[in-house]
Amino acid sequence: MNYTTQMDAAKKGIITREMNIVARKEGMEAEKLRELIAEGKVVIPANKNHKSLNPEGIGEGLRTKINVNLGISKDCCSIEKELEKVRVAIEMKAEAIMDLSNYGKTENMRKRVIDMSTAMLGTVPMYDAIGFCDKELKDITVDEFFEVVEKHGQDGVDFITIHAGLNRETATAVKNNPRLTQIVSRGGSLLFAWMELNNRENPFYEYYDRLLDICEKYDITISLGDACRPGSLKDATDPAQIKELITLGELTKKAWERNVQVMIEGPGHMALNEIKANMLLEKKLCHGAPFYVLGPLVTDVAPGYDHITAAIGGTVAASSGADFLCYVTPAEHLRLPSLEDMKEGIIAFKIAAHAADIAKGIKGAVEWDNAMSKARADLDWETMFDLAIDGEKARRYRMESSPEDPETCTMCGKMCSMRTMKKILNNEDLNIK
C-alpha cells in the first residue's frame, strides 16, 4: 500500500520503517506508536530526501527531545565552524539540529548539514528568503516565499518553522496591546514587517494549502511558529500570544486533513508560575499536537547564564506536557554561540529533558538514576563516569583532586558516608584515622 507521509501511513494502518526504529528506541509497541501518529499526538520528522537520518519521535509518551540551534550570520560566517558544531552536537546525542543561517546563499551550508547529520534537521525558510531572492524584504513576492520553502524541501529538511498564525487579526492584536519587547521572533518580525510594508495578509496564512502541498510532497513536518511568543516576563500570556495560539490550533486541523505532521512552537520568556497553564492551553487549543518550546526563560536578568534560566523553565514545561525543548546557550541575547557555549547548552537541556522524563514516568528514565545511585553506594567510580550525562567532565573533576583513599573523593575522604555504610554493613574495619 502506498502512502505520502508518516501520518498518511499511520492512518492507513501501515507501520513504516521509521516507526519501527522509533518504537524500538522508546520501548513502545509499534502499533501504539502508529496510533499516536495517526492522531497527530506524535510526529516523526523525516523528509524523504534526508538519507542519513536516524529517525526520532516527538510527542506523547516519548522521551523529551532536544534541539540545537546553529548557523552562520553576517558577522560570523564561518561554515566550517558551524559544521564542527554539527559534528559535536551529534556526538553529544542531540536529537535535532536547526540550521538558522541567515546570511547570503545558505544552500551550501544546509546541504552539507543534511548529508552529514543523522539528527533531524529543521530550518526557518523566512531567514533564507532575502539571500535566496537577493532583494529587499518588501520586494519579495508570494511566489518567491514558496520557492524558498520548496527548495528547503528538495534539500531534505525534516521540519520547517513557519509563522502562519501571524495573520492580520493577530497583527492587530499586537498593535492594540502594546508589548514591552514587541515581536521578538526573528522570522515573525520579518513577516510582520512584510505585511505592514505591503498592506497584505501573511502569505503562509492566506495560501496555507500551497504550503501543505509542499510539506505533503516531501513529508516535511510543519513546526507552526509562535511569532508572538513573549520576549519578556511582562509580555507572557497576553492577547497576541493567545490569539495566535488559537489560530495555530485551527491550522493544525487543516494540516492533519492533508496528512501533514505538525508541531506547535511555544514561549519564550515566562514566569515560573505561568508555565504549567501555558502547556495545558497549548494541548487543549492545538488538539494534543506535540509542543516545542524555547526555554521558557524564567527570568530576564541573567545574561550569560540563560542556559540555566531556560533549563529551569524547560524542566517545568516538559514535566507539564511539552515534548521538545529548544536549547538555550550562555550566549543567548549576547552573541552567536561558540562551540563551548553550544556544549553547555546541550548539557543543560539534556538534564532538563531527563528530569522531566522522570516526572512524566517515561520508561527507563528513573532506572538510569537508580543505576547511578547503586554505583555511588558501591563506590564504583568507572560505572559512575559511564552513566553520567557528561562523563568526561565528571572524570576530569575527580582526577584534578586525588584523595588519599582511592575509594573516596577529596570532599569527605575516609569520612565518606558511602564508604562508612559499605564497610559497616560488610563487617569490615572502618579505619577512619
- Output the domain CATH number for residue 214: 3.20.20.540
Q: Can you read off the three cell numbers belonging to residue 74? A: 553576517
Predicted pLDDT of residue 104:
86
Within a domain: 278? yes
In a domain, 399, yes or no: yes
Assess whether 305 and 376 both reside in one domain: no
432 belongs to a structural domain? no
Tell me what pLDDT residue 432 has: 87
430 inside domain: no
Which residue stretches of the chain have pLDDT < 50? Answer: none
Per-residue H/E/C for 201-269:
CCHHHHCHHHHHHHHHHHCCEEEECCCCCCCCHHHCCCHHHHHHHHHHHHHHHHHHHCCCCEEEEECCE
Residues 333 and 408 in one domain: no
427 is in an annotated binding site: no
Domain co-membership, 78 together with 220: yes
* CB-count exposure of residue 345 (10 Å: 0-12, 13-18, 19+): buried
Do 309 and 400 fall within a single domain?
no
| Residue 229 labelled as part of a binding site | yes
pLDDT tens, position by position, 231-245: 999 999 999 999 999
| Residue 395 structural domain | 365-425
- Who's near 108: CB < 8 A, 6+ residues apart? 79
Please indicate if the annotation marks 227 as binding a ligand.
yes
Check whether 396 is labelled as a binding-site residue: no
In a domain, 119, yes or no: yes
Q: Of 170, 327, 160, which is closest to residue 248 (Cα–Cα)?
A: 170
Is 286 part of any known ligand binding site?
Answer: no
Closest CA to 120 of 191, 68, 172: 68
Instruction: Reduce the DSSP state of residue 321 to 3 states and report it.
Output: coil
- 409 known member of a binding site: yes
357 marked as part of a ligand binding site: no
CA torsion, ordered 41, 46, 47, 48, to nearest 10 deg? -120
1 within domain boundaries: no
Q: Please check whether residues 171 and 254 belong to one and the same domain.
A: yes
Domain total of the chain: 2
Domain end (from 313, 342, 360): 360
> Is position 186 annotated in a ligand binding site?
yes
- Asked whether residue 431 is assigned to any structural domain, the reply reads no
Q: Which of 322, 337, 360 is the last residue of a domain?
A: 360
Question: What's the one-letter identity of residue 13?
Answer: G
- Residue 69 in marked binding region: yes
Residues 174 and 239 in one domain: yes
Q: How far is CA 102 from the centre of its chain?
A: 19
Residue 412 marked as a ligand binder: yes
Same domain for 298 and 407, yes or no, is no
- 392-400 contacts at long range (C-beta below 8 A, 24 or more positions apart): none
276 and 421 housed in the same domain: no
Task: Answer yes or no: is 185 a known binding residue.
Answer: yes
Q: How far apart are CA 217 and CA 211, in angstroms?
A: 10
Question: Annotated binding residue at 287?
Answer: no
Query: By C-alpha distance, which of 136, 119, 131, 128 is closest to 153?
Result: 128
Last-in-domain residue among 314, 330, 360: 360
Looking at the structure, tell me whether residues 327 and 382 fall in a common domain: no
Are 229 and 183 spatial neighbours (Cβ–Cβ below 8 Å)? no
According to DSSP, residue 80 is labeled: H
Q: Please check whether residues 19 and 163 belong to one and the same domain.
A: yes
**Do 375 and 280 lie in a common domain?**
no
- What pLDDT score was predicted for residue 431? 87
Q: What percent of the chain has pLDDT over 90?
A: 96
Q: In this structure, is residue 41 part of a structural domain?
A: yes
**202 and 265 fall within a common domain:** yes
Answer yes or no: is 395 a known binding residue: no
The SS3 of residue 136 is: coil
333 annotated ligand-binding residue: yes
pLDDT for the residue 144: 97
